[in-house]
């Protein structure tokens, strides 16, 4: 447990958390929407500092990051809690503070990353930004050791804490869950704030990739998805987009996303974007040069065969969007 950053003390031992756009006002003994930031006698605490629910070594492609050090392994950690409330949450046992935690220090994680030849650490599984204090300390330590820091995030964070964290972050996969304020409100968030996070990360030279979990007739329709793709295009057409198939989970029992609908989304995205991938479904996810069509990376699940080592196509010499 550690005193939280980004909060304001109020009267009657209440506090206002300033980490994310919810700006929760929390009474003494209560916690924010995220469940892991608690008011104890008028001081806001991060209750899961140095405590994890999961530690694994994953292929970097599992985050998913297809264009960041492809073929590498990454130490992946997460804790409890989330600041959104998606009815289809894929990791609800940890986001709803059910799974038990175990203690670990930033130094222990660094030692483990070095022993396993990881390129760094990914903060993932739950929403990492609500674990802010631990991530901030750990990210500084990893950066000093020459290792990478990766966020797998819903992007729902206020500008000030985001700006303070980003100098230590190398890459991020941001989950762009929908493209309307009404649908984001249903999920407990705001589209505007997430778009600001994406734009800020790109402006700060963070390697970014975007995931959209396609839930047909719930968060995803063709018109809004077209707008989503055009938003990415307005930043950089080379930002990879991962369209992921939904399966029933947690409180939502809609049928799995139809393959035909996923392929329709794929075709829409390819009108605008250079790199589009389908997840949770059998599909050819090889990476090809957007100019000449040359095969750059062959993919078999999370296993890859790469023909590139820099940001240049070996055939036509055009520039690519990769980080090595």
**Nearest-angstrom CA–CA distance, 167 and 248:** 37
Strand 295-300 relative to strand 303-306: parallel, antiparallel, unpaired? antiparallel
Using CA atoms in the order 102, 108, 112, 114, what is the torsion angle rounded to 10 degrees? 160
Q: Kindly calculate the radius of gyration of the chain based on its CA atoms and give it in whole angstroms.
A: 20
Question: Cβ(209)–Cβ(69) under 8 Å?
Answer: no
Q: What angle do CA 108, 109, 110 make, to 5 degrees?
A: 90
CA distances from 118 to 57, 109, 137 (A): 8, 11, 19
- Helix (H) or strand (E) holding 316, with range, is none
Residue 86 annotated in ligand binding? yes
CA distances from 158 to 75, 102, 249, 299 (A): 26, 28, 29, 36
Residue 89 annotated in ligand binding? yes
CA distances from 186 to 136, 157, 246 (A): 30, 18, 17
Token readout for 31 is 């916690």
Q: Cβ of 148: how many Cβ atoms within 10 Å?
A: 24
**Nearest-angstrom CA–CA distance, 125 and 219:** 21
Helix (H, G, I), strand (E, B) or coil at 44: strand
- Helix (H) or strand (E) holding 270, with range, is helix 259-272
Residue 316 annotated in ligand binding? no
Helix (H, G, I), strand (E, B) or coil at 118: coil
Question: Cβ(223)–Cβ(51) under 8 Å?
Answer: no
Binding residues, as ranges, are: 82, 86, 89
Binding residues for [4Fe-4S] cluster, as ranges, are: 82, 86, 89
């Amino acid at each position: 447990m550690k005193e939280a950053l980004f909060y304001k003390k109020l009267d009657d031992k209440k506090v206002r958390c300033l980490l994310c756009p919810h700006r929760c006002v929390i009474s003494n003994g209560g916690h924010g929407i995220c469940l892991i930031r608690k008011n104890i006698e008028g001081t806001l605490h991060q209750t899961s500092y140095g405590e994890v629910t999961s530690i694994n070594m994953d292929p970097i492609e599992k985050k998913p990051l297809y264009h960041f050090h492809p073929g590498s392994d990454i130490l992946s950690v997460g804790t409890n809690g989330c600041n959104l409330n998606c009815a289809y949450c894929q990791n609800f046992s940890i986001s709803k503070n059910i799974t038990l935690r175990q203690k670990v220090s930033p130094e222990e994680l660094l030692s483990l990353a070095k022993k396993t030849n990881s390129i760094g650490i990914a903060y993932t599984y739950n929403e990492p930004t609500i674990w802010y204090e631990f991530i901030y300390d750990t990210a500084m330590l990893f950066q000093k050791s020459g290792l990478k820091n990766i966020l797998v995030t819903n992007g729902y964070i206020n500008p000030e804490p985001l700006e303070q964290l980003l100098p230590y972050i190398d890459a991020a996969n941001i989950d762009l869950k929908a493209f309307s304020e009404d649908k984001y409100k249903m999920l407990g968030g705001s589209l505007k704030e997430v778009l600001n996070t994406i734009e800020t990360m790109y402006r700060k030279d963070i390697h970014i990739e975007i995931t959209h979990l396609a839930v047909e007739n719930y968060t995803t329709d063709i018109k809004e998805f077209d707008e989503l793709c055009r938003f990415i295009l307005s930043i950089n057409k080379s930002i990879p987009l991962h369209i992921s198939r939904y399966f029933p989970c947690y409180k939502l029992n809609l049928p799995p996303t139809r393959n035909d609908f996923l392929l329709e989304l794929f075709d829409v995205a390819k009108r605008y974007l250079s790199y589009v991938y389908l997840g949770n479904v059998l599909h050819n996810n090889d990476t090809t040069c957007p100019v000449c069509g040359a095969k750059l990376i062959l993919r078999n699940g999370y296993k890859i065969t790469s023909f590139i080592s820099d940001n240049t196509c070996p055939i036509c010499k055009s520039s690519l969007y990769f980080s090595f």
